[in-house]
Amino acid sequence: MAKSDFPGWHGTTIIGVKKDGKVVVAGDGQVSLGDTVIKGTARKVRRISPGGYDVVAGFAGSTADAFALLERLETKLEAAPGQLMRASVELAKDWRTDKYLQKLEAMLIVTDGDALLVITGAGDVLEPEHNVTAIGSGGNYALAAARGLMDSDKSAEEIARTAMEIASDICVYTNGNLTLETIG
Protein backbone atom coordinates (compact mmCIF):
# COMPACT_ATOMS: atom_id res chain seq x y z
CA MET A 1 0.00 0.00 0.00
CA ALA A 2 1.51 3.34 -1.05
CA LYS A 3 1.71 6.08 1.55
CA SER A 4 -0.79 8.14 -0.48
CA ASP A 5 -3.25 5.20 -0.30
CA PHE A 6 -3.00 4.86 3.47
CA PRO A 7 -6.22 6.16 5.06
CA GLY A 8 -4.43 7.65 8.07
CA TRP A 9 -5.38 7.93 11.72
CA HIS A 10 -8.35 10.15 12.08
CA GLY A 11 -10.23 12.04 14.66
CA THR A 12 -10.61 12.84 18.28
CA THR A 13 -12.01 15.70 20.26
CA ILE A 14 -10.25 17.37 23.17
CA ILE A 15 -11.70 20.34 25.02
CA GLY A 16 -10.37 22.63 27.75
CA VAL A 17 -12.78 24.73 29.84
CA LYS A 18 -11.70 27.28 32.45
CA LYS A 19 -14.38 28.60 34.80
CA ASP A 20 -14.68 29.62 38.46
CA GLY A 21 -11.09 28.73 39.35
CA LYS A 22 -11.23 25.25 37.79
CA VAL A 23 -9.88 24.00 34.49
CA VAL A 24 -11.24 20.81 32.97
CA VAL A 25 -9.67 18.98 30.04
CA ALA A 26 -11.80 16.24 28.50
CA GLY A 27 -11.26 13.94 25.56
CA ASP A 28 -13.10 11.15 23.83
CA GLY A 29 -11.78 7.61 23.52
CA GLN A 30 -12.17 6.81 19.83
CA VAL A 31 -9.25 5.92 17.58
CA SER A 32 -10.13 5.47 13.91
CA LEU A 33 -8.19 4.23 10.92
CA GLY A 34 -9.94 5.53 7.84
CA ASP A 35 -13.62 4.71 8.32
CA THR A 36 -12.96 1.95 10.86
CA VAL A 37 -13.04 2.36 14.64
CA ILE A 38 -9.91 0.65 15.95
CA LYS A 39 -10.40 1.40 19.65
CA GLY A 40 -13.10 3.14 21.65
CA THR A 41 -11.40 3.47 25.04
CA ALA A 42 -8.15 5.36 24.38
CA ARG A 43 -6.99 7.78 27.10
CA LYS A 44 -6.02 11.04 25.39
CA VAL A 45 -6.08 13.22 28.51
CA ARG A 46 -3.32 12.74 31.07
CA ARG A 47 -1.96 14.30 34.22
CA ILE A 48 1.80 14.82 34.31
CA SER A 49 3.65 15.95 37.41
CA PRO A 50 7.25 16.91 36.66
CA GLY A 51 8.88 17.83 39.95
CA GLY A 52 5.54 17.69 41.78
CA TYR A 53 4.08 20.41 39.56
CA ASP A 54 0.66 19.28 38.24
CA VAL A 55 -0.16 19.77 34.57
CA VAL A 56 -3.05 18.26 32.62
CA ALA A 57 -2.54 17.62 28.92
CA GLY A 58 -4.87 16.40 26.18
CA PHE A 59 -3.74 15.48 22.69
CA ALA A 60 -5.13 15.05 19.21
CA GLY A 61 -3.23 13.39 16.41
CA SER A 62 -0.77 10.55 16.35
CA THR A 63 -0.49 8.90 19.77
CA ALA A 64 3.22 8.15 19.48
CA ASP A 65 3.89 11.72 18.36
CA ALA A 66 1.83 13.12 21.23
CA PHE A 67 3.72 11.01 23.77
CA ALA A 68 7.03 12.24 22.34
CA LEU A 69 5.79 15.81 22.78
CA LEU A 70 4.52 15.16 26.31
CA GLU A 71 7.95 13.79 27.26
CA ARG A 72 9.57 16.92 25.85
CA LEU A 73 7.09 19.11 27.73
CA GLU A 74 7.92 17.30 30.98
CA THR A 75 11.62 17.94 30.37
CA LYS A 76 10.93 21.63 29.71
CA LEU A 77 8.85 21.86 32.91
CA GLU A 78 11.63 20.23 34.92
CA ALA A 79 13.99 22.92 33.61
CA ALA A 80 11.47 25.71 34.37
CA PRO A 81 9.38 24.46 37.33
CA GLY A 82 6.00 26.15 37.70
CA GLN A 83 6.35 28.02 34.40
CA LEU A 84 3.96 26.37 31.98
CA MET A 85 3.95 29.26 29.51
CA ARG A 86 7.74 29.34 29.30
CA ALA A 87 7.99 25.54 28.97
CA SER A 88 5.28 25.56 26.28
CA VAL A 89 7.01 28.29 24.27
CA GLU A 90 10.30 26.38 24.48
CA LEU A 91 8.55 23.20 23.32
CA ALA A 92 6.89 25.06 20.42
CA LYS A 93 10.23 26.56 19.37
CA ASP A 94 11.87 23.12 19.38
CA TRP A 95 8.90 21.60 17.56
CA ARG A 96 9.13 24.25 14.85
CA THR A 97 12.90 24.12 14.35
CA ASP A 98 14.02 20.55 15.20
CA LYS A 99 14.22 18.35 12.10
CA TYR A 100 12.90 15.27 13.98
CA LEU A 101 10.11 17.09 15.82
CA GLN A 102 8.87 18.85 12.66
CA LYS A 103 7.52 15.52 11.43
CA LEU A 104 5.33 14.99 14.50
CA GLU A 105 1.60 15.21 13.83
CA ALA A 106 -0.26 16.16 16.98
CA MET A 107 -1.68 19.11 18.90
CA LEU A 108 -1.80 19.61 22.65
CA ILE A 109 -4.07 21.37 25.12
CA VAL A 110 -2.21 21.94 28.41
CA THR A 111 -3.09 23.59 31.71
CA ASP A 112 -1.65 24.04 35.16
CA GLY A 113 -4.95 25.35 36.56
CA ASP A 114 -3.95 28.91 35.75
CA ALA A 115 -2.97 29.03 32.07
CA LEU A 116 -4.96 27.15 29.43
CA LEU A 117 -2.90 26.73 26.25
CA VAL A 118 -2.95 25.09 22.83
CA ILE A 119 0.46 24.10 21.45
CA THR A 120 0.88 23.36 17.74
CA GLY A 121 3.67 22.20 15.45
CA ALA A 122 3.52 25.51 13.62
CA GLY A 123 5.22 27.09 16.64
CA ASP A 124 2.01 28.41 18.16
CA VAL A 125 1.26 28.69 21.86
CA LEU A 126 -2.30 30.00 21.99
CA GLU A 127 -4.31 31.13 25.00
CA PRO A 128 -8.05 31.18 24.26
CA GLU A 129 -9.95 34.46 24.56
CA HIS A 130 -13.12 32.98 26.07
CA ASN A 131 -11.58 30.47 28.51
CA VAL A 132 -12.48 27.53 26.29
CA THR A 133 -10.54 25.80 23.55
CA ALA A 134 -10.86 22.58 21.59
CA ILE A 135 -8.81 20.57 19.10
CA GLY A 136 -9.33 17.55 16.87
CA SER A 137 -11.89 16.59 14.27
CA GLY A 138 -14.84 17.37 16.57
CA GLY A 139 -13.10 20.36 18.15
CA ASN A 140 -15.15 23.04 16.43
CA TYR A 141 -18.42 21.38 17.47
CA ALA A 142 -17.30 21.09 21.09
CA LEU A 143 -15.93 24.65 21.05
CA ALA A 144 -19.20 26.11 19.74
CA ALA A 145 -21.26 24.18 22.29
CA ALA A 146 -18.99 25.19 25.19
CA ARG A 147 -18.90 28.85 24.14
CA GLY A 148 -22.70 28.84 24.15
CA LEU A 149 -22.71 27.47 27.72
CA MET A 150 -20.02 29.63 29.30
CA ASP A 151 -22.51 32.24 30.60
CA SER A 152 -24.75 29.57 32.13
CA ASP A 153 -24.71 28.39 35.74
CA LYS A 154 -23.00 25.16 34.67
CA SER A 155 -19.58 24.31 36.11
CA ALA A 156 -16.49 23.83 33.95
CA GLU A 157 -16.97 20.06 34.18
CA GLU A 158 -20.65 20.24 33.20
CA ILE A 159 -19.80 22.48 30.25
CA ALA A 160 -17.03 20.12 29.08
CA ARG A 161 -19.27 17.05 29.41
CA THR A 162 -22.16 18.68 27.54
CA ALA A 163 -19.90 20.02 24.79
CA MET A 164 -18.29 16.61 24.32
CA GLU A 165 -21.70 14.94 24.19
CA ILE A 166 -22.77 17.34 21.43
CA ALA A 167 -19.51 16.82 19.52
CA SER A 168 -19.88 13.04 19.73
CA ASP A 169 -23.40 13.30 18.31
CA ILE A 170 -22.10 15.26 15.30
CA CYS A 171 -18.56 14.05 14.57
CA VAL A 172 -18.24 10.42 13.43
CA TYR A 173 -14.61 10.38 14.66
CA THR A 174 -15.63 11.21 18.26
CA ASN A 175 -17.31 8.92 20.76
CA GLY A 176 -18.91 9.46 24.16
CA ASN A 177 -16.29 7.54 26.16
CA LEU A 178 -14.74 10.44 28.10
CA THR A 179 -11.56 10.88 30.03
CA LEU A 180 -11.78 14.00 32.14
CA GLU A 181 -9.19 15.67 34.39
CA THR A 182 -9.78 18.71 36.60
CA ILE A 183 -7.13 21.02 38.00
CA GLY A 184 -7.22 24.22 40.01
Residues marked active site are found at 12
d(CA 5, CA 7): 6
Beta bridge partners of 126: 118
Q: What are phi and psi of 180, to 5 degrees?
A: -135, 130
Task: Name the nearest CA neighbour of 137 among 23, 31, 4, 6.
Answer: 31
8 Å CB contact between 117 and 89: no
